[in-house]
Amino acid sequence: MSDLEITHPKIYEYLEKTLSEETPILKEMGDYGRAQGFPIIGAQAGRMLHFLARAIGAKNVLELGSGFGYSAMWFALAVGDGGQVIMTEGKQSNQDRARDYFTRAGLVERVEFNVGDALEIAKKYPGPFDIIFCDIDKHDYPKAITIAREKLRVGGILIYDNMLWHGRVVSQTDADTNAILETTRALLDDETFFTTLMPLRDGQSLSLRIK
């Protein structure tokens, strides 16, 4: 079965036009990602990340998988002066591009850049974090739950992207899809978190740490 539309195309088009990037640098980043076919979260989900960070007064954010910094920029704008976003990315070229964007935005002091395996890098940071955002290789998704239990504060939020996986969660059984389904079941069964799913763009899971 082919990929499924998560949102009706006309509604999606309306949301894309209405919910745009907030700053010139964010727009530049969004334009670059779309032109390159780079899988950025987009302005719809970016605004949600920013909203959640500000709603809980987040000051410390850990990103597992940062690309060239698009989602991190939304977080950096939200955490304010004194806040910090820990970025992790496998490619040096993406982090170099991210550093340029954050420098020109005047926000480089709010970001820490790391290149390498996100799960390994996360081990060196004790936390506690207010938000952990996960967008790594899908087959590694289940492993991020352990990191969240260790490093996310009570009242903090664990966010996964691509949790509807272009509709494949209802139609396919490949390894990446199975890992997403496994992660969803584990979060819903875990008494450490209260979890819900949002059908926004490609779907996000939001898990509030409750104990």
What are the sequence ranges of the domains in the chain?
Answer: 9-209
> Position of tokens 């390994």?
120
pLDDT in tens, 101-113: 999 999 999 999 9
**Lowest-pLDDT range, 63-77, 143-157, 166-180?**
166-180
Token pair recorded at residue 200: 């926004």
pLDDT in tens, 33-81: 999 999 999 999 999 999 999 999 999 999 999 999 999 999 999 999 9
Q: In angstroms, rounded to a whole number, what is the distance separating the alpha carbons of residues 134 and 83?
A: 19
| Phi/psi at 57 (5° precision) | 65, 40
Q: What percent of the chain has pLDDT over 90?
A: 91
This prediction has a pTM of: 0.95
Read off the pLDDT band of 130 (50, 70, 90): very high
Read off the pLDDT band of 204 (50, 70, 90): very high
Q: Residue 1 pLDDT > 70, yes or no? A: no
**Lowest-pLDDT range, 89-98, 132-141, 163-172?**
163-172
Mean per-residue pLDDT over the chain, rounded: 95
Q: Residue 136 pLDDT > 80, yes or no? A: yes
Please report, for residues 79, 108, 182, the alpha-carbon distance to residue 133 in angstroms, rounded to integers and kept in the order given.
Answer: 14, 19, 18
Nearest to 41 by CA among 29, 51, 53, 52: 29
Got the DSSP string for the chain? -----SS-HHHHHHHHHHS--SSHHHHHHHHHHHHHT----HHHHHHHHHHHHHHTT--EEEEE--TTSHHHHHHHHHH-TT-EEE--BS-HHHHHHHHHHHHHHT-GGGEE--BS-HHHHHTT----EEEEEE-S-GGGHHHHHHHHHHHEEEEEEEEEE-SSGGGGGGT--SHHHHHHHHHHHHHHH-TTEEEEEE-STT-EEEEEE--
Q: In angstroms, rounded to a whole number, what is the distance separating the alpha carbons of residues 76 and 109?
A: 9
Within its chain, how far is the Cα of 55 from the centroid? Answer: 16
| Domain spanning 9-209, CATH architecture | 3-Layer(aba) Sandwich (3.40)
| Phi/psi at 156 (5° precision) | -85, 170
Strand order of the β-sheet with 204-209 is: 111-112, 84-86, 60-64, 129-134, 152-161, 204-209, 193-198
pLDDT of residue 7: 86
Q: Residue 178 pLDDT > 70, yes or no? A: yes
Within its chain, how far is the Cα of 196 from the centroid? Answer: 15
Q: In angstroms, rounded to a whole number, what is the distance separating the alpha carbons of residues 101 and 162?
A: 24
